[in-house]
Amino acid sequence: MIYSSCSFTRSSDTNVIWSLKSRLTRIEVSIITMYRSLYEFDVLINGSSAREHVHEGRTYIEGRNGSSFSLRMRNNSHERCLFVPTVDGLSIMDGKDGSYESRGYIVGAKDSITIRGWRTSDKDVAEFFFSSPGESYASKKGKGRNMGVIGCAVFKEKEKPVQVKIEKEYIPYPVYPNYPHPRYPAPERSPWYFGVDGTSNMSLYSAQAPTSFSLQNNAVGTSQAIGTGFGETKHSPVVTVEFDKTSSPDTTFLIYYNTRQELEKMGVIFNKPLYVTPRAFPKESNGDYCERP
């Protein structure tokens, strides 16, 4: 629950309602921003963060043929989370169609990891790099329809059930005056259980039918001129652990990529004028009072 204190001068009922609506809108935007800032997901090209360009509500990055890249996942929350990344619509863990049931990486609280490629074993990955569409890993597997997008779904861990034991307390019948009937003997106590008994054992991933990502670039007059290849082997050891995730992701990241030429056809502007943030106190004071212009 988020509380916000505010004060305003009541001039009319209409102004009061408008003021409250305006403040509620700002609070909702702040909640969304804080919610998204719990997790971070970005692409590193040759070790540096790729410059992101926002166009019509989507995030784009420029890819250059032959450049290697990696995926950085950061968890700013206070509990470990599961990050399920996909590249070109394929799970980077097994190369199959990506879904919310795909395997992923567990990132500890206040921690981050960087993944350099497609997982080939518990010890190695095949490096990510931008390639021609025909040489991409997705095309070679006959699944190039979702080429040009990098995604990541973040899941929280289910709360472990707590067993609550409630014992039914025996209350004897009251003894009235001049009523010699003895108290009824107390029955044998038996435990009463409330909620889950904790005996069920749920596997790491449920058996629901996978829902594959359908992430295509539908911009008119553009084509996907670049993909992601299956590169050299890089050492990246991991261990397998259990994680009982929630049924739906806490948030999802989508980053689209293409060559600069194709992105410019879509209307992505690369050389935007630098926006200088205005300062509230650029100078302490020019005098004691306002000067007439």
Are residue 50 and residue 5 in the same domain, yes or no? Answer: no
Give the angle 77-27-34 at the CA atoms, nearest 5°.
15
- Say which residue, 72 or 218, is predicted with more confidence: 72
Residue 253 lies in a domain: yes
Give pLDDT tens digits for 260-282.
999 999 999 888 766 667 878 77
Are residue 99 and residue 213 in the same domain, yes or no? Answer: yes
The rounded distance, in Å, linking the Cα atoms of 8 and 23 is: 11
The answer to whether the CB of 49 falls within 8 A of the CB of 245 is no
What pLDDT is recorded for position 222?
Answer: 74
Give pLDDT tens digits for 193-225.
333 333 323 223 333 333 333 334 455 567 999
pLDDT band (50, 70, 90) for residue 1 = very low
Residue 198 lies in a domain: no
Residue 89 lies in a domain: yes
DSSP calls for 160-212: PP--EEEE----PPP--TT--PPPPPPPPP-EEEES--S-----SS--PPP--
Given a cut of 60, whether residue 36 has pLDDT beyond it is no
Given a cut of 80, whether residue 290 has pLDDT beyond it is no
The rounded distance, in Å, linking the Cα atoms of 161 and 198 is: 6
- For residue 261, what is the enclosing H or E element? helix 260-266
> Residue 152, exposed/middle/buried by CB under 10 A (0-12, 13-18, 19+)?
buried
Residue 145 lies in a domain: yes
Residue 105 lies in a domain: yes
Residue 287 lies in a domain: no
What pLDDT is recorded for position 27?
Answer: 55
Q: How many domains does the chain have?
A: 2
Enclosing domain of residue 220: 38-160+204-266
Give the type of residue at 44: L
Residue with tokens 């009523």: 179
104-133 burial string, b = 16+ CB within 10 Å, else e?
bbbbeeeeebebbbbbeeeebbbbbbbbeb
What pLDDT is recorded for position 154?
Answer: 96
Residue 103 lies in a domain: yes
Are residue 25 and residue 127 in the same domain, yes or no? Answer: no
* pTM for the model: 0.66
Are residue 101 and residue 88 in the same domain, yes or no? Answer: yes
Are residue 18 and residue 152 in the same domain, yes or no? Answer: no
Select the highest-mean-pLDDT range: 51-65, 160-174, 272-286: 51-65
pLDDT band (50, 70, 90) for residue 291 = confident
Summary mean pLDDT of the chain: 77
The rounded distance, in Å, linking the Cα atoms of 278 and 166 is: 62
- For residue 236, what is the enclosing H or E element? none
Select the highest-mean-pLDDT range: 25-34, 86-95, 284-293: 86-95
Are residue 209 and residue 247 in the same domain, yes or no? Answer: yes
Q: Diameter of the chain by CA atoms?
A: 104
Are residue 134 and residue 152 in the same domain, yes or no? Answer: yes
% of the chain residues with pLDDT over 90: 56
Are residue 2 and residue 141 in the same domain, yes or no? Answer: no
What pLDDT is recorded for position 25?
Answer: 54
For the segment 165-191, the average pLDDT, to the nearest whole number, is 53
What pLDDT is recorded for position 39?
Answer: 95
- Which structure tokens are listed for 237? 């050891």
Residue 56 lies in a domain: yes
Given a cut of 60, whether residue 112 has pLDDT beyond it is yes
The answer to whether the CB of 259 falls within 8 A of the CB of 53 is no
DSSP calls for 81-115: EEEEEEETTEETTTSSBP-TTS--EEE-TTEEEEE
- Say which residue, 83 or 190, is predicted with more confidence: 83
The CB density around residue 143, as the number of other CB atoms within 10 Å, is 18
- For residue 159, what is the enclosing H or E element? none
For the segment 233-240, the average pLDDT, to the nearest whole number, is 94
The answer to whether the CB of 49 falls within 8 A of the CB of 112 is no
What pLDDT is recorded for position 168?
Answer: 65
For the segment 50-72, the average pLDDT, to the nearest whole number, is 95
Are residue 82 and residue 141 in the same domain, yes or no? Answer: yes
Pure H helices in 37-185: 137-140
DSSP 3-state of 211: coil
Are residue 47 and residue 70 in the same domain, yes or no? Answer: yes
Are residue 212 and residue 252 in the same domain, yes or no? Answer: yes
Are residue 140 and residue 2 in the same domain, yes or no? Answer: no
The answer to whether the CB of 101 falls within 8 A of the CB of 212 is no
Given a cut of 60, whether residue 176 has pLDDT beyond it is no
